[in-house]
Amino acid sequence: MLHGGVSTYAVEPMNVLLAAAAAGASSIALAHFRYGKPDIVLALTGILGGLVAITAAAGTVGTGSAVLIGAVAGVVVPLSTITLDLFAHLDDPTATVSIHGVGGVWGLLAAGLLAPVGLVERLKLAGIQVAAVLAVAALAGGLTLVLFAILRATVGLRLREADEYDGIDLAEHDIGAYPDFQQTMIKSYHLREA
């Protein structure tokens, strides 16, 4: 298949590299604007988000669109990482939800919005992509609710409060994995009073 006279086998890797570079540049610019200096974690989060975002459209969009997809992902993904961490208090130290969730949703929507077709066909493709995002979210959300219901009914979703305080390593394995950071002076799980 030719893409502007060039085989898509040559365009896809170039689009991936351009999207990653644009995502890295925009995430570094975002960090510099927000914090007054570049931030390596936000830069890497942006680059990974750009790589995820371009995945849906690498073989169909032009190089300019690949740069746009990466640049937008380089801003949106780190911002969602910050938002989920600071405001939603989601414990996601690797930014997996932002990189794969937000970056993936942006990439799917961008694949339809930036497809090299006419406006009517582009809007139709964008609508299909929105339907796909909603279908995947509904399926994943439904299966997750079922899984959590099963876990709650069988083993529970939380530790006992005493185990949370002492640490799960002590409660589950009877050892203190980080004794220098231990909050209590308990030496053995079996010695704790009931």
Answer for the pair 71, 53: CB distance below 8 angstroms, yes or no: no
Bridge partner list, 33: none
pLDDT at 72: 97
pLDDT at 65: 94
Vertex 165: Cα angle to 144 and 158 (nearest 5): 20
Say how far apart CA 60 and CA 12 lie, in whole Å: 8
Instruction: Band the pLDDT of 93: cuts 50, 70, 90.
Output: confident
pLDDT at 149: 95
Q: What is the pTM of this model?
A: 0.77
Ordered by start, the domain boundaries in the chain are: 2-132, 161-191
Say how far apart CA 34 and CA 27 lie, in whole Å: 10
Q: Which of 61-75, 86-100, 157-171 is predicted least confidently?
A: 157-171
> What's the pLDDT tens digit per position in 14-50?
999 999 999 999 999 999 999 999 999 999 999 999 9
> What's the pLDDT tens digit per position in 116-166?
899 999 999 999 999 999 999 999 999 999 999 999 999 888 877 777 777
